Chain A
C-alpha cells in the first residue's frame, strides 16, 4: 500500500510498529502493525480523529515513547538499539520538536530557548544558520524577551526556530497551531512550509485540521491504529472530502 522511498531519502520510518496499552480486557492498541516512512526534505502531515494513534506514532518516531513491538528509525538508526542517554543525544541533535503549547522554558529568553538544544550539547551552533533561521521567523528584535513577554504566535515561532536550530534530520510538530488564532496559525504554517522549501528541512506534523494539513506535501491518514491511506499535494477541499469517506 505504501510506496517506500529509497532508504537514503528517508528521514524517519516505522516498521510493523505496535503500541499496546493495558492488557486483557482493558487492552488498547494505539498502534497496530504500522509501517510508514517520511521522506527527507518534505513536509508531511499525519491526520486522523482523536484516538487514531497519530500522537503515539509521532512520540514513537521521536524516541519519546517505546514501542510494544516493531521498529522505528531516524535516518538509519534503529531507536530500539539505543539506551536512554543515546536516545536523548539523538533527540538533541537529530530531532526537532514543536508542541501545541508550553514549548519554551520560562526562565530563558527567546534566543536562549532557540539555542537550548545546542547549549545542552555544549557544541557551538552554526552561527550563519541560526541567523538565517531567526531571520525566517522575523523575531530578531525580540530575542532578549522572556516567553511571558511574547504573544502566543511569537512563542510558537520561537519554538519552530528552536526546532530548526540544530538543523535536525527531522522536525516533529504536534498540533503546532492548535492554541493559536487563525492569523498566527497561518504564520506558523507558512514558516514551516518555508523551512522545508527554502531551507531544505524535513517536517512531520500531527494535526486534525484540514487547512493545516493542506500545507503539507503529503498526508498520512491514521484510523484505529492503522494507516488508513495517504494523499499527495493536498488541498483543504480534497482533505475534507477524503475524511468524509474515511469512516465508510
Chain B
C-alpha cells in the first residue's frame, strides 16, 4: 500500500506542486528567521571574542540599574587605574568608555539614526589593552582632538585634518580629526558610531572629569586570568566599590546582553514566522480537503477492489508525509536566501548587523523539516479520515452543491471558542503567561473558522450582489460559485481573514495609542516650540543647551524634560526628570494631589495608579538609588496622571551625581512681541546648527510624536506581508482546483457562447468575492479584538478606542486587489479549457 501511495503521489505532479507550495512558503520564513538569528548570534560570539581577545581582566563599578532594556552601570574613578597598574601580573591597563556622543556631519545633520544603533563616545588609547586599532592618522591627544571609527569617518566623508563637531553630555564642541580606527578588525560594530578622545577629554566631555566607565587590563602572562582578577580585586579598596571580571566573563556577559536585545527582535520575527506557518496550515488543509473530494472516485475504486478504510486513509497520509517532507526541505533551503534578504533589508533601513558567513545549525534543519512535515500530516488528518469514509459504491456524481449541515451547532461552538479565546486574551493582558495569550488567540481564530462555513454562503451572496447586478449572468455565476461550496470558501478565505484581523487589530491599537499620545502631550505641553531627540534613554540634549535656549532674548521660557534609569523601591524604571523652576506653564502634569511647582530635591511625584498600587500617599517616603549608587529618601509631594513615566523628580536631584542626565525634550515659549519665525531662527542657532534634536512648532511636534507609532506599525505590516503572500497562494491553489473540478461546466459555458474574457471575469469575481469575504470578517474580528485590547489596557475604556476608518478602507481595497491578482493564473487556465474534451469527460 505504501508503494502504491508513493506511486499515486508522484503520478500527480501538479497536485504535488500545489500542495508543496503552501508548505514551502510556510517553512521558508521560519527557516529564514532561524538561520538569520543563528548567524547573528554566532557573529556576535566571534566579534566579542575577537574584541576582548587581549583583555585578561575587566574592572568596573559594582553599582548598576537594570531597567530590563539593558543595564546601566555607575562610572569608576580614574584613580583606580594606578592601583590596577600597580598589581603584580598586570602589564597594561586603560580606561574604557561607552557614553553618548553624537557626531555631526558636514551638512549639519547628526550621523547615525535616532532609532538605530547607538552613537558612542569613548577613549582611544595606545595601550595593547585598548579595543581600537589605528587605521590611519594617530591617536588623539588633548582637548581639541578626536578620532573616529572608520565606518563613521567614511559615512561623514571626514579625512584626517577636518573639523568635526560632536555633541555629548557637556554640550556641543568642535574637534580636529587626527585619526581613524578599526574596532577589532571591522570598521564599526553593529552600525554604531564612535567618537574617541584621550581619557581626560573623554571623561570631562562625555561623563564627568576623573571618571571612566570601566578599565581594560592585560596581564603579563605570569598569572591565569582568574588569578589576575583575584589579585586586582584584592588590591582595590572596598570603598571604591569596584569588581573585576576575567576576559572570558566580560566577553560572555557582553555577548549575552547583546543576545538579549537581539532576542526581542528574533522572538518577534519568530512569532510572525509562526503566524505565517499557521496560515500556511490552512492552505494545506484546504488543498487536501479539495483533492480528497476530487479523487472520491479513486478512493471508491480502491475500496471496491478491497482496500480497507484504514488503507485509503493511510494512503492520503503517506501523500501528506511525502509532500510535507519535500516541501519542508525546499522551504528550508529557500530560507537561506530569505535570511540573506532579511540582512539586506535591515542594512537598508540602517540597522547594520554584522553577519559574516552563514550559520546553519544541524538542529535547525531537523527542527524545521520536522515542524513542516508534522504540520502537513496534521493538516491532512481530517481530509484523510473523510476520504476513508467514502463508500465503495460512491456514485458518479456531478459536482454537487455543497451544504453545511448543523449550522446552528457550528455557530454555537464557534461562539463558545471565541468567548474562551477572548477570556484567554483578557487574562494575558492582565499579566497572565504568554502561553495563555497564544491559546487565547488560537481560541478566537478556531472559533471564527468553525463559524466560517456557516456564514460564508450568506455573506458571499451579499458581497456578490453588486457583482451580479453589474456583470449580469457572468457576475451572478461568480457569486453563486463563491457561495456554492461554503466550507471551501471559508477555508480559502481563512488566511485572508487572519491576516486582515491582525492588521486591523494592530492598526486599531496603533490609532488608539496615537490618540493617547496626542492627548497626553497636548495636555501637558503648553509652549510654542519643542526641541526633541528620540534617544530611548541613551543620550539626548545636553542640559547646557537647554540653558542656552532659555537665556535667548527671543525666548520667554524653556524647560527640559528627560528620563533616566533609577531604582525606586523594588523597581528599576525610567523616571521622568524635569526642572520645577522653569516647567510652570510649559510642562504641566495633570495633578491629582499636590503641586509640581517648588518640587524640592528631596521630593518625588508619583503617577496616581502607581501610588495606589504601591500604597503611597502624599507625605509617604520612597527610597531612590541612582545609577552611581547614591541613595536618597524622597517624600511623595503629589500624584498625577497621563504622563510618560510613573515617577517624576527634580533635576536638582542630579546636581552632584555622575548619572549622565540629558533632556529628551525641551519645551519653549516665545517671548512676547517676537514672531515665531524670528524665534525659530534664534533657537536654531543653538540647536539645529549644532545638530542637536529636531525643532518643531507645537502642532508639528505633537504630530511627529504620534507618528512614531507608525514606524512600529510599518514593521508589523512588513512582517504580515508574507502572510498575505501565503493567502494569495492559497486562493490561487483553490481556484485552480475549482477550475479543474468545474471543467465540464466551463466547457459547457464556452459551448453555449461564453467568451474567454467572460470566463476570465467569472473566475476573477469569484476570487474577489472570496477574498472580500475573508477581509470583511477579518475586519470585524480585528476591530473587536482591537476594542477588547484597548478597553482592557486603558482606564478611559471604550472612549479610548479609535476606529481607523481610512486604514480599514485601504485593507478592503487591498483585499479586492488580492482577489484580482490571485485570479490571474487560474482564470487564464480556465480560458484554456478544451471544450470538447471537457464535455466528453462525463
Contacts and interface: CB of A to CB of B under 8 A. Distances in A.
Interface stretch (B418-426, B528-536, B634-642, B751-759): B751-759
B752 A92 contact: yes
Contact of B480 (A64, A108, A116): A108
Interface secondary structure of B, over-half rule? helix
B750 A88 contact: yes
A119 B472 contact: yes
Contacts of B617: none
Contact of B472 (A85, A103, A122): A122
A158 B473 CA distance: 17
Contacts of A100: 842
A116 B752 contact: yes
B407 to A, nearest CB: 19
Given A106-B399, A107-B484, A88 B745 contact: no
B836 interface: yes
A115 B399 CA distance: 22
Interface in A124-173: 146, 148, 162
B752 A162 contact: yes
A121 B744 CA distance: 21
Contact of A107 (B477, B755, B835, B836): B477
A102 B474 contact: no
B313 interface: no
Given A64-B835, A99-B839, A122-B472, A106 B398 contact: yes
Interface residues of B, number: 28
B765 to A, nearest CB: 13
Given A88-B756, A102-B744, A116-B473, A64 B749 contact: no
Contacts of A120: 473-474, 749, 752-755, 758
Nearest to B473: A119
A101 B748 contact: no
Contact of B401 (A93, A99, A107, A117): A107
Given A64-B835, A99-B748, A120-B473, A88 B753 contact: yes
Chain B CB count within 10 A is highest, among A62, A65, A97, A99, for A99
Interface in B360-410: 398-401
Contacts of A99: 748, 751, 839
Interface string B480-511: 11001000000000000000000000000000
Nearest to B749: A105
Nearest to A96: B752
B755 A88 contact: yes
A236 to B, nearest CB: 27
Chain A CB count within 10 A is highest, among B744, B753, B754, B758, for B753
A120 B756 CA distance: 12
A122 B476 CA distance: 13
A207 to B, nearest CB: 17
Interface in B669-692: none
Contact of A85 (B400, B751, B755, B836): B755
A122 B751 CA distance: 17
A84 interface: yes
18 contacts: A62-B751, A64-B835, A64-B836, A99-B748, A102-B748, A105-B477, A105-B749, A106-B401, A107-B480, A116-B752, A117-B752, A119-B473, A120-B753, A146-B401, A148-B398, A148-B400, A148-B401, A162-B752
Given A108-B480, A120-B474, 9 more contacts: A62-B751, A85-B756, A92-B752, A102-B745, A102-B842, A108-B476, A116-B473, A120-B749, A122-B472
The 5 closest A-B pairs by CB, nearest first: A92-B753, A119-B473, A107-B480, A88-B755, A117-B753
Interface of B: 398-401, 472-474, 476-477, 480-481, 484, 744-745, 748-756, 758, 835-836, 839, 842
